[in-house]
Amino acid sequence: MTKTRIAREIGVLAILFVVVGNHARYLEGLNVNLGEALQFLREYDREASIMCNRVMTAQWNFATNITDYNRRKMLEEQTFKLKFDRASWRKAVTFAWSRVPDPLTRRQLKMIAVKGRSALTDDKFNEIHHLIVEMKELYMRTRLCPYKKMGSQCDLSLDREINRVMAQSRDYEELLHFWRSWHEAVGPPLKNKYMRYVQLANQAARLSGFADAGDHMREAYEDDYFQQNIAEVISAISPLYKNLFTYVRARLIERYGDKIRKDGPLPAHVLGNMWAQNWEGIFDIVQPFPAARRLDITLDMMLQGFTPLRMFQMAEEFFTSLGMKPMPPEFWRSSIFEKPIDREVKCTASAWDFCNKLDYRIKQCTRVTMEDLLSTHHEMAHIQYYLQYKDQPLLFRNEALPGFHEAVSDAIGLSVFTPQHLHRIGLYNNSTDDYEININFLMLMALQKVAYMPFAYIVDQWRWRVFSDGVADMTTRWWELRLQYQGIVPPITRTERDFDPAAKYHVPADVPYVKYFVGIVMQFQLFESLCDISGHTGNLHTCDLYRSREAGRLLSDVLSTGASRNWKEVVREMTRGRTNRIDAGAMLRYFEPLNQWLKRQNQMEPVIGWITSQEDTEIFASVSALFAHWYTGNAEAATSSKVTLMIFVLISYLV
């Protein structure tokens, strides 16, 4: 594509590409005047802060009072922000920002220049955003019919009713009903819209100097070796995952009999979750020591007269015990801690930064339960991150890399959700060094976090391949990845018409997913570093950071830089010089006691992991010969797939 064509497409007169290696990279202009760049960034910071405050206020108003009027106001403000972001982008790409001498100025200009899809023409820019809104609304509006209740209203929502059934039901056919119904209701209607979205996203990325939209997404990680890094992490986690998988399969065989094969993958609908991404819902089936007391302090909280306000005060005291910041007055004045009775609200817990360095809030329909006590600490950790970087310019008031906000909050959760911490704050009186309680605890954590790793990895692996290789066989590729990394197969025959990836919200909603993978790994890296500096000894899963000023100082230092530095520098500071990479070592050390227990339990199992057979892949059969290339004479495809199949089998036996 010529420079003239690009200029005509985006309305910028003087454009050039910075060349990296042998391919064009990054859209830039010719202006190298540092004074003009600084003036632009000052104006941007002021205007973007005002715009951000308007959008956050409108979103808050809608989330806390769901009316058509508030929804319209929210969409209006979001539309204004899109226009503002596009105008800011047009100005930013007139600068030769990669040659600006000041590194912080250069970094801010780059953030504006490479973000979003503003390089598209007006009609295509509007089209892709309308497409995303349409796909999200179709997903959110979908309702299902009850199981075996003729004449009932088909008004079951995913969030309120269906997810609860998937976690709690032990009826194989009921689970299958909801799995099939959800995938069939969501996937096919979204397929054509998603194919057009892929086209437009790729066009935007290429106009901005990227190979495709996946390449554009990965730019947020500022690392040419990012894909290699996360591939090494999933490889390191794989033996632990396969040990967990094998143990869980044995317990599911006890529950469902010959519906589960002794050496094979698992059907996607029996793991307590619509996407088999989090297996916490089947803890009662796989609990190592059922007679041991489960870690649940809800009753203790009720007996001690806890209120939602007291739960938030307890969470604040956790952070101030580390020497970190108390919540500002605006937080206590404007947050919503309990569900209002006079209006409809979105009850999903969330933390809010209103972009004015003063107003920070949490919205949570708090119940007096252990789950909500943990959520309170989690959301307040987000607020603590906001407070720590609040003096940075707006562009730097963000996480060090996508996923780090969640990593920080989850690292705090690793400290709070321990028998040791709950004992120290007077909410758990059982022995904290009981072996059976500890193994049960680690199993619960593994079902939440280890089981999630392969799914968190494959969503964007699939998405990036669609962006780079095209939209043919999208469902085939989805199930190939799920089989390879998760050992999961669909419970019924699938075809390309089904478009199963769309059953996960983040796919049609254009929300990057690998950040959740990063967040899981980095929470353990951060937690281990904080535990080390606090002087903790013993197993990592027993560490409690409460009252450690040393841990608080390190955490404050790491959080206060926001996004002003490359994340590798932040990780090096976080780990006190040990590494600057995403690394699975801390996570493996955390779960090592459970891993040893799992190995002993699995000694008599025929296969550690899963063997893929013709029987498994027959379920993928369709008129489009889904997966047929595994068994036909297509030399290139068959060779590649047979190699993959042999790897499955070898890894299963060697781990």
E strand or H helix that includes residue 20: strand 16-20
pLDDT band (50, 70, 90) for residue 27: confident
- State mean pLDDT over 360-385: 98
651 close to 242: Cβ distance less than 8 angstroms = yes
**DSSP codes, 82-97:** HHHHHHHHHHHTTB-G
Pairing between β-strand 350-353 and β-strand 360-363 as defined by DSSP bridges: antiparallel
Check residue 620 and give its pLDDT.
Answer: 54
pLDDT band (50, 70, 90) for residue 26: confident
Going by the DSSP 8-state scheme, the letter that residue 277 receives in this structure is: S
The answer, yes or no, to whether residue 450 has pLDDT greater than 90, is yes
Cα angle at 532 between 531 and 533, to 5 degrees? Answer: 95
Model confidence over 326-342: pLDDT tens digits?
Answer: 999 999 999 999 999 99
pLDDT band (50, 70, 90) for residue 294: confident
Check residue 619 and give its pLDDT.
Answer: 59
Higher-confidence position of 13 and 276: 276
**DSSP codes, 235-272:** HHHHHHHHHHHHHHHHHHHHHHGGGS-TTS-EETTSSS
CA 596 to chain CA centroid, Å, is 28
To the nearest whole number, what is the mean pLDDT of the chain?
A: 91
The answer, yes or no, to whether residue 5 has pLDDT greater than 60, is no
Instruction: Compute the distance between CA of residue 172 and CA of residue 164 in angstroms, rounded to an integer.
Output: 15
Check residue 634 and give its pLDDT.
Answer: 33
365: three-class secondary structure by DSSP: coil
Rama region for 475: left / alpha / beta (φ>0; ψ in -120 to 50; rest):
alpha
pLDDT band (50, 70, 90) for residue 25: low
* Selection from 462, 498, 168, 623 nearest residue 490 by Cα: 498
Check residue 187 and give its pLDDT.
Answer: 97
Model confidence over 540-583: pLDDT tens digits?
Answer: 999 999 999 999 999 999 999 999 999 999 999 999 999 999 99
- Mean pLDDT lowest for which of 8-12, 27-31, 250-254, 409-413? 8-12
Higher-confidence position of 150 and 56: 56
CA 55 to chain CA centroid, Å, is 23
pLDDT band (50, 70, 90) for residue 612: confident
Q: Sign of the C-alpha dihedral, residues 512, 220, 380, 407? A: positive
Percent of the chain with pLDDT over 70: 89
pLDDT band (50, 70, 90) for residue 623: very low
The answer, yes or no, to whether residue 263 has pLDDT greater than 90, is yes
pLDDT band (50, 70, 90) for residue 434: confident
Check residue 614 and give its pLDDT.
Answer: 65
Check residue 617 and give its pLDDT.
Answer: 60
* Selection from 483, 462, 476, 475 nearest residue 612 by Cα: 483
Model confidence over 211-259: pLDDT tens digits?
Answer: 999 999 999 999 999 999 999 999 999 999 999 999 999 999 999 999 9
Between the alpha carbon of residue 240 and those of residues 273, 584, 653, the distances in Å are: 20, 11, 14
Instruction: Compute the distance between CA of residue 311 and CA of residue 489 in angstroms, rounded to an integer.
Output: 42
- State mean pLDDT over 427-449: 90
Model confidence over 55-109: pLDDT tens digits?
Answer: 999 999 999 999 999 999 999 999 999 999 999 999 999 999 999 999 999 999 9
- Mean pLDDT lowest for which of 366-375, 420-429, 600-609? 420-429
The answer, yes or no, to whether residue 642 has pLDDT greater than 60, is no
Instruction: Compute the distance between CA of residue 576 and CA of residue 558 in angstroms, rounded to an integer.
Output: 11
Query: What would the two tokens of residue 407 be?
Result: 């990593």
Instruction: Determine how many CB atoms are found less than 10 A away from the CB of residue 445.
Output: 19
Check residue 148 and give its pLDDT.
Answer: 86
Model confidence over 193-223: pLDDT tens digits?
Answer: 999 999 999 999 999 999 999 999 999 999 9
Check residue 20 and give its pLDDT.
Answer: 36
Placement of tokens 């075809």 in the chain: 495
Check residue 621 and give its pLDDT.
Answer: 46
Query: What would the two tokens of residue 115 be?
Result: 């973000």
Check residue 149 and give its pLDDT.
Answer: 77
The answer, yes or no, to whether residue 628 has pLDDT greater than 70, is no
**DSSP codes, 387-436:** HHTTTS-GGGSS-SSTTHHHHHHHHHHHHHSSHHHHHHTTS--S-SS-HH
Check residue 3 and give its pLDDT.
Answer: 43
Query: What would the two tokens of residue 103 be?
Result: 């590194």
